[in-house]
A and B are shown apart, each in its own frame.
Chain A
């Protein structure tokens, strides 16, 4: 069993980087009630990859098309700018705008990939291909995750303040739009890179479930971040370790463990109340 896991250790390291980065940002995603913005951004990112593959298949934009991440980033950043600026406030409620983005991006991704000559099966977008992560991919993920996490450590109080009470932050001179946009940008960056390897489902899981676990267990922000990261890492290690020897799909196995940990946290919370 250990041999099998060691064989895919690069994939495990990559999954751990994604788990840590997403579970830190996930605390804001859950607290700010933008869970489905995360899902919509992940779908936009997958649509970007599909677009790159389709263009490549058509012999168009061959240079850029060989780097699907460029298209994933492009569409995700467009989504970030849109949602970060309020998501088209007006007649359409924000959650409906998110729903429209999600549905259209998902459908566009599937249509494009079905017509792409070099395309992979569309379930790769949903499930990802975490076992395919190489050492180089892990380095790329680290190069994205470390600056993002550093930014969140350095500007913790700024992100916290504009997330908790934007009106008061504004009266104290904070440029709330800037900090919101920066938060969304870090989110978009991590999602765009993580999506390539982990797929929509696993990225969405890491953005939501560990943060819920952390917030159930902890009564403070530091604890929420700690338990969110801890449960994400634990889910990645355990899920991965189960999936390899038992020939289970890695992403869903990790998600199943994440879900079990969240249930456990819910039990702990109930016990604390008694």
Chain B
């Protein structure tokens, strides 16, 4: 299988500050990878290196020829004060293909409509972005990523701040895009329980450590306990994996005698 992105002993950081070192892994074509870890662990740093906006201070990060990323940013990164329609936003995914100083044509508009149809919100094409629900906004951003015809779809915390229904729908949509179109997907999230039930591989970024593998290999008591440095149990319920951190043992009552 073709490797789309390859990390070879890469060290990542900002200036002299090293965030993660000696990373070696690859993202093959057709992968469905979840990158999970707490805030501040280095997920965004790895994401930037994958996207090519951060160069490694040592080692290499290489991309397959002609790679295109479809990036779905965190929803709060987008400014909803702009008076833009859903189609306006989706069209932005075509801007680099349209070229400097040129306007979108009919072909671009058709592709935008098809992308909206793909994510199930074609009927919202003319709606203002700021009138949409959280789930609809996320679908708009996914459509924008798809309209650029990417090799890899990258979603940064796609379910942040969403309720249970919207979370399930968005994760279901992402899995459908992967299964139906064979799209390579990288999903970044802090919610291990959510991601583990949808992706095929997991990259854990915790406490300065990095571990990547198939879901079955990573979602074990020993790996998770070692990475999170607390006892973690993995169970299943109706075919869903559930990760639970064990409660701290209660301290014995103080002996005043």
Q: Which residues of A contact B (CB under 8 A)?
A: 31, 154-155, 157-158, 160-161, 163-165, 167-174, 215, 218-221, 223-224
Contacts and interface: CB of A to CB of B under 8 A. Distances in A.
Interface of B: 51-53, 69, 71, 73, 77-79, 81-85, 88-89, 92-93, 95-96, 98, 100-101, 103-104, 128, 144, 148
B83 A224 contact: yes
Nearest to B68: A172
Ordered nearest first, which 10 A-B pairs have the shortest CB separation?
Answer: A171-B71, A172-B96, A154-B101, A171-B51, A165-B78, A167-B73, A164-B82, A168-B71, A170-B53, A224-B83
Contacts of B103: 157
A221 B88 contact: yes
Nearest to B72: A168
8 contacts: A160-B82, A167-B77, A168-B71, A168-B92, A169-B95, A172-B93, A172-B95, A220-B85
B84 A165 contact: no
Given A163-B79, A165-B73, 8 more contacts: A161-B92, A164-B92, A167-B71, A168-B71, A168-B92, A168-B144, A171-B71, A172-B148
Contacts of A155: 100-101
A218 B128 CA distance: 11
A157 B98 contact: yes
A157 B84 contact: no
A223 B104 CA distance: 18
A122 B139 CA distance: 55
Nearest to A171: B71
Contacts of B69: 171
A122 B232 CA distance: 70
Contacts of B71: 167-168, 171-172
